[in-house]
């Protein structure tokens, strides 16, 4: 095990950095050490963002009986030498999009608050990138090792909603303003269940540090059943609550009210064009990636392998694989579901997610207290923990959806 942890592939990124750093004169080493980390995160997740957009467009296309973008390639270049006209499966689409966004005219409305209008896209990207600092991408790969990493993550993540309000307010457009109001309502409603869904993990792992949380999930029963938190009753409930809240926090369908296309044209983005628009787009995907990364870290075992036999695979590959699966899930949801209304959105949070998340905190406390139970008591522990989640879920869920049901229809005599 320790041999695998110290394998060359695991250490390769760090070795590379240290080698580059020691080439520089001593006074520059400290700063370049950190700069290299920042550049690596920016480059990896910048590219990841680019290919997420292609993946989203292609996957949505497939869900809708379309092909998605498949034309953009490199002229006179092919990854398959014997097939010159190969279009790279449209994989260079994001670069074409970037060129287009950069060359478009940047229009600022005459009545807009110019400073805020300019600052909003900058701020939103900045805050959404800050969240990446505390995600453990691999066994040795964490940009900043913070003791209160989770607190930091939520603070930075919710600040980006402020930028959406800035954008909506400064555009001096009624659609944008309505969208900004919606974004704030959504932020206040969903920040709470999002944080509460993670609290059980903090209780059981008794730490706020993301890398320690991942370490706590690194064991297997019989070498095949991983001890990820999602495979416990409270962890599963927390994961579902986290997923729903993450969808809402990142303004994804079915919670994409701030940019509801069919109602508010483009919401807070209505008065943005060119690269500023692209920045918002980028920030949205960064936010989505960061939240997925947090979900992977907290519930899905982070960089841990799913079974002991696969322990030799480099840990950052596991992290990326799980991240991609999470994002695919989000795209699938977007291709399927309808949008909620703003009052239903807040009601779902306050009447359903928050009570369940609070109960789930108690559930985790019960789990932590009964850690010594073994043998048949273990079954009792699982049953009680499951009941604490499932019974309120059924009761609250039934009461919330009361009165809504498919109907039968009569025919004229």
Partner 1 sequence: MNSPAPAFASVPSPFGAPSGPTVRAVHDQFHGDLLEVSMGPQHPSTHGVFRMIASLDGEQIVKLKPVFGYLHRNHEKIAENTSYLASMPYTDRLDYLCSMSTNWAYALAVEKLLGQSVPDRAQYLRVILAEMTRIVNHSCLVGFLFNDLGTSFTPLLYAFREREKFIDLFESLSGSRMMCNYQRFGGCRVDPTPEWLAAARTLIENFPRFLDEYERLLTGNEIMLARTQGIGRLDPARAVNAGITGPVLRASGVDYDIRKVDAYGFYSRFDFRVPLGDHGDTYDRYMLRILEMRESVKILSQAFRDIPAGPIMDPKAKQRGHRPKAGEAYARIEGPKGELGFYLLSDGGPNPYRYRVRPPSLINLTLLEEMCLGHTIADSVVILGSIDIVLGEVDR
Nearest Cα neighbor of 392 from 241, 284, 264, 245 is 241
- Provide long-range contacts, Cβ within 8 A and 24+ apart, for 28-35: none
CA within 13 Å, CB half, 333: 18
Is 65 among the residues that bind partner 1 (CB under 8 A)? yes
Nearest Cα neighbor of 234 from 225, 222, 246, 242 is 242
Instruction: Provide the mask over 339-378, with x wherever binding to partner 1 is found by CB under 8 A and - wherever it is not.
Output: xxxxxx----------------------------------
Site for partner 1 in 66-95 (CB under 8 A): 66
Q: Minimum Å distance from CB 411 to partner 1?
A: 4
Q: Minimum Å distance from CB 189 to partner 1?
A: 14
Residue 206, C-beta contacts closer than 8 angstroms, at least 6 positions apart = 368
Q: Which two tokens stand for residue 40?
A: 């690596």
Range in contact with partner 1 (rule: CB under 8 A) among 114-122, 193-201, 239-247, 400-408: 400-408
Residue 352 buriedness (CB in 10 A; 0-12 / 13-18 / 19+): buried
265: left (phi over 0), alpha (psi -120 to 50) or beta: left
Q: Of the candidates 9, 21, 55, 60, which one interacts with partner 1 according to CB under 8 A? A: 60
Is 273 among the residues that bind partner 1 (CB under 8 A)? no
Is 253 among the residues that bind partner 1 (CB under 8 A)? yes
Range in contact with partner 1 (rule: CB under 8 A) among 189-197, 223-231, 256-264, 381-389: 256-264
Contact 396, 355 (CB under 8 A): yes
Range in contact with partner 1 (rule: CB under 8 A) among 105-113, 139-147, 217-225, 262-270: 262-270
Q: Which two tokens stand for residue 370?
A: 């009964």
Instruction: Provide the mask over 149-188, with x wherever binding to partner 1 is found by CB under 8 A and - wherever it is not.
Output: -------------------------xx-xx---x------
List interacting residues with partner 1 (CB under 8 A). Answer: 60, 63-66, 174-175, 177-178, 182, 253-254, 256-257, 260-263, 265, 334-344, 401, 403-407, 409-413
């Amino acid at each position: 095990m320790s041999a695998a942890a110290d394998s060359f592939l695991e250490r390769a990124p760090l070795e590379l950095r240290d080698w580059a750093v020691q080439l520089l004169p001593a006074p520059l080493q400290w700063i370049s050490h950190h700069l290299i980390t920042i550049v690596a995160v920016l480059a990896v997740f910048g590219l990841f963002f680019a290919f997420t957009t292609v993946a989203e467009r292609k996957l949505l296309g497939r869900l809708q009986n379309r092909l998605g973008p498949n034309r953009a390639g490199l002229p006179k270049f092919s990854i398959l030498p014997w097939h010159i006209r190969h279009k790279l499966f449209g994989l260079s689409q994001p670069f074409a999009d970037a060129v287009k966004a950069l060359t478009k005219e940047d229009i600022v409305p005459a009545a807009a608050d110019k400073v805020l209008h300019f600052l909003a896209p900058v701020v939103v990207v900045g805050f959404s990138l800050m969240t990446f600092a505390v995600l453990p991408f691999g066994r040795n790969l964490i940009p900043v090792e913070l003791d209160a990493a989770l607190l930091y993550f939520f603070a930075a993540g919710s600040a980006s909603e402020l930028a959406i309000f800035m954008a909506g307010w400064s555009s001096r457009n009624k659609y944008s303003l309505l969208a900004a109001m919606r974004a704030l309502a959504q932020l206040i409603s969903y920040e709470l269940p999002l944080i509460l869904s993670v609290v059980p993990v903090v209780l059981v792992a008794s730490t706020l540090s993301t890398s320690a949380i991942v370490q706590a999930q690194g064991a297997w029963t019989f070498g095949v059943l991983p001890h990820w938190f999602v495979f416990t009753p409270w962890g599963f409930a927390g994961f579902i609550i986290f997923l729903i809240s993450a969808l809402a926090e990142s303004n994804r369908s079915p919670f994409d009210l701030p940019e509801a296309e069919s109602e508010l044209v483009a919401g807070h983005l209505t008065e943005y064009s060119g690269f500023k628009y692209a920045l918002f787009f980028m920030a949205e995907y960064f936010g989505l990636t960061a939240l997925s990364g947090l979900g992977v870290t907290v519930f899905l075992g982070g960089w841990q392998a799913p079974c002991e036999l696969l322990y030799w695979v480099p840990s950052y590959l596991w992290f990326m694989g799980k991240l991609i699966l999470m994002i695919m899930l989000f795209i699938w949801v977007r291709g399927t579901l309808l949008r909620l209304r703003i009052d239903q959105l807040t009601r779902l949070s306050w009447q359903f997610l928050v009570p369940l998340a609070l109960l789930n905190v108690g559930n985790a406390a019960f789990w932590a207290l009964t850690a010594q139970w073994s043998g048949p008591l273990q079954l009792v522990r699982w049953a009680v923990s499951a009941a604490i989640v499932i019974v309120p879920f059924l009761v609250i869920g039934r009461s919330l959806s009361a009165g809504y049901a498919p109907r039968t229809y009569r025919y004229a005599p």
